[in-house]
Amino acid sequence: MKFINYLESIAGIEIFPLISLGIFFTFFLVLLFWALKVNKQHILEMKNIPFEN
């Protein structure tokens, strides 16, 4: 028996891909919003951390 046959026998399994897509999409929207709104000075400070003594 193939793996897909096991998944088809589980009741309510079709909701999990939608939940995963929603979490993935929300995470990247939040990350994009943060990247656009973050203070540019903060980005410069974080960029230069590896070069500080």
What is the overall mean pLDDT for the chain? 87
pLDDT tens for each residue of 13-37: 778 888 999 999 999 999 999 999 9
3-state secondary structure the chain: CCHHHHHHCCCCCCHHHHHHHHHHHHHHHHHHHHHHHCCHHHHHHHHHHHHCC
- Model confidence at 46: pLDDT above 80: yes
Count up the domains in the chain and report the number: 1
Q: Which domain holds residue 28?
A: 3-51
Q: Which two structure tokens, joined as six digits, stand for 25?
A: 């999409």
Q: Are 7 and 13 in contact (CB under 8 A)?
A: yes
| Per-residue confidence (pLDDT) for residue 40, from 0 to 100 | 92
